């Protein structure tokens, strides 16, 4: 199975993994279904994934990347030379980069319930021949990780060198370390938390409300029509604010006006400030690439996430983990504040785990882990290397 993976991804010297393609694999079967935390089962899940770099002979150099809420499998490189944008973590993954594809074999897959190639509410239910819509089974972070875990097995990899993720991706890393402790040697948790705090649930609730309240939502069965595009755009606008910081938003936009030097003094003009224009643009672009039902399912999965669920304490859940942990937060992140990473660190110490932690300084708020990649590379690169060394 791993043989087909040994084919090299095209690399170049400019630090990019080059041209990559998203592949597709079918996992699970009627005899070996995916059992979800809600109790339901799925006998078939299609997963969209990408890989970069080369798996070594003993399959010991594989690193799994968990994407955040609206990410996808396309973490690095370009699908075509003409592509305007490269993968969402291209600055961090590539030859000589933080996650060095000259050394490591990197895997990134779209999450279960997503809408970028992996089975989700917009997919066809094989049992009915119709789209799942809201009949798609309820999802948790554990279910998402169970699919990741199965993909890794299907790729012929017994143990991952590391699992790396930020935000909802970091939650997947934590869940993985606790649910499948033998499958990873290191866990890198960035701008994340062992549970979603009330503030995070609150913002998710507003986003979902915007979708539900859109007349185009049609109880989730909207694929033949326009769908809840205004609701979804609004959800994104609100969420986007939570990814920024007061400083970054002030620096980038301030009170500057869009295409004008004076106020219009008119209610007919909806967009006057640059920040308004920016948010509208973010909302509009998001609607083009994301499915509202996936947004509902994935934000709920995030709301439900609490690593200590089913255990006496967070420390008890983490005492199951075997991996060495690297935890980093950002000083301007108010969605996943440092205090939440510190709670995680305390529990890891209580559980006697190997843990390193620091709060990185960066003005870009929650999104810092996607933007400020140099310090991240200086931190994660050597951490991975030492983990690799400890093996041999």
Partner 1 sequence: MSPVPRYQIPDPSVLLTDDLILQHITPGSRVIDLGCGDGRLLQRLQDELQCKVQGVEVEHANLFAAIARGLPVIEADLNEGLVDVPDHSFDFAVLSQTLQQVQKPKLLLIEMLRVATRALVVVPNFGHWRVRWEVLRRGRTPVTKTLPYEWHETPNLHFMSMKDFRELMDSIGLRIVKESPIIRGRAVDHLVAANLRADSAFYLLERDPKTQTPH
Instruction: Please report how close the Cβ of residue 62 comes to partner 1 at its closest, in angstroms.
Output: 19
Kindly report the backbone phi and psi dihedral angles of residue 246, in degrees, each rounded to the nearest multiple of 5, phi listed first: -55, -45
Residue 390 CB, nearest approach to partner 1 (Å) = 7
Q: In angstroms, give the least distance from the CB of 374 to partner 1.
A: 12
Q: 328: which 2 tokens?
A: 């980093």
Shortest CB 351 distance to partner 1, Å:
9
Structure tokens at 141: 């972070």
CB of 356 to partner 1, least distance (A): 5
Interaction site with partner 1 (CB under 8 A)? 315, 324, 326, 342, 345-346, 349-350, 352, 354-359, 361, 378-379, 382-383, 386-387, 389-390
Which among 60, 167, 245, 294 is annotated as catalytic?
Answer: 167
| CB closer to partner 1 out of 168 and 191 | 191
Question: Which pair of tokens denotes residue 391?
Answer: 């093996």
User: Which residues, at least 6 apart from 77, have a Cβ–Cβ distance to it below 8 Å?
Assistant: 9, 16, 17, 18, 19, 20, 50, 52, 86, 87, 90, 94
Say which of 90, 100, 303, 333 is annotated catalytic: 333
CB closer to partner 1, 46 vs 350 = 350
Query: Contact 61/99 with Cβ under 8 angstroms?
Result: no
| CB 92 within 8 Å of CB 165 | no
Buried b (16+ CB within 10 A) or exposed e, 130-155: ebbbeebbbbbbbbbbbbbbbbbebb
Nearer to partner 1, 275 or 355 (CB): 355
- Rg of the chain taking only CA atoms, in angstroms: 21
Is 67 assigned a catalytic role? Answer: no
Residue of 378, 348, 384, 371 whose CA lies nearest to 65: 384
Q: With beta carbons less than 8 A apart as the criterion, state whether 151 and 25 touch.
A: yes
Sign for the CA dihedral angle at 335, 49, 375, 387 comes to positive
Known catalytic membership, residue 259 = no
- Could you tell me which of 350, 289, 276 has the C-alpha nearest to residue 316? 350
As measured in angstroms, the least distance from the Cβ of 344 to partner 1 is 10
Residue 329: phi, psi to the nearest 5? Answer: -120, 175
What distance in Å separates the CA atoms of residue 117 and residue 290, rounded to the nearest whole number?
11
366 in active site: yes
Please report how close the Cβ of residue 382 comes to partner 1 at its closest, in angstroms. Answer: 4
Measured from the CB atom, the residue of 290 and 330 that comes closer to partner 1 is 330
In this structure, are residues 276 and 284 in contact, taking their beta carbons and an 8 Å threshold? Answer: no
The single residue of 67, 74, 148, 366 carrying the catalytic annotation is 366
Local structure of residue 4 (DSSP, 8 states): G
Just list the catalytic residues.
167, 333, 366
């Amino acid at each position: 199975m791993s043989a087909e993976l040994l084919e090299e991804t095209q690399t170049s010297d400019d630090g990019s993994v080059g041209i990559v393609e998203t592949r597709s694999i079918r996992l699970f079967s009627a005899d070996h279904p995916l059992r979800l935390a809600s109790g339901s089962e799925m006998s078939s899940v299609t997963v969209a994934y990408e890989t970069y770099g080369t798996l070594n002979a003993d399959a010991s150099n594989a690193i799994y990347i968990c994407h955040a809420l609206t990410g996808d499998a396309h973490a690095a490189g370009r699908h075509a030379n003409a592509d305007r944008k490269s993968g969402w973590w291209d600055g961090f993954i590539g030859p000589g980069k933080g996650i060095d594809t000259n050394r490591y074999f990197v895997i990134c897959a779209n999450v279960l319930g997503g809408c970028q190639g992996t089975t989700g509410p917009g997919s066809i239910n094989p049992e009915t021949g119709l789209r799942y819509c809201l009949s798609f089974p309820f999802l948790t972070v554990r279910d998402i990780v169970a699919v990741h875990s199965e993909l890794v097995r299907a790729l012929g990899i017994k143990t991952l060198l590391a699992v790396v993720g930020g935000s909802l991706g970091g939650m997947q890393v934590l869940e993985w370390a606790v649910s499948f402790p033998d499958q990873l040697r290191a866990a890198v948790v960035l701008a994340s938390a062992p549970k979603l705090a009330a503030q995070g649930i609150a913002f998710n609730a507003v986003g979902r409300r915007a979708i539900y309240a859109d007349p185009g939502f049609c109880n989730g069965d909207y694929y033949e029509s326009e769908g809840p595009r205004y609701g979804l755009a609004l959800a994104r606008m609100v969420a986007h604010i939570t990814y920024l910081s007061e400083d970054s938003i002030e620096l980038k936009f301030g009170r500057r006006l869009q295409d004008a030097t004076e106020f219009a003094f008119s209610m007919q003009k909806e967009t006057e400030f640059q920040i308004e224009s920016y948010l509208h643009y973010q909302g509009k672009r998001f609607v083009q690439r994301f499915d509202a039902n996936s947004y509902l399912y994935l934000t709920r999965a995030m709301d439900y996430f609490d690593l200590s669920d089913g255990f006496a304490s967070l420390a008890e859940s983490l005492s199951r983990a075997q991996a060495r942990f690297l935890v980093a937060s950002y000083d301007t992140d108010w969605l996943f504040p440092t205090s939440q990473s510190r709670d995680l660190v305390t529990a890891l110490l209580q559980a006697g785990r190997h843990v390193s932690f620091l709060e990185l300084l960066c003005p870009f708020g929650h999104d810092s882990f996607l933007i400020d990649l140099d310090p991240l590379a200086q931190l994660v690169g050597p951490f991975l290397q030492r983990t690799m060394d400890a093996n041999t």
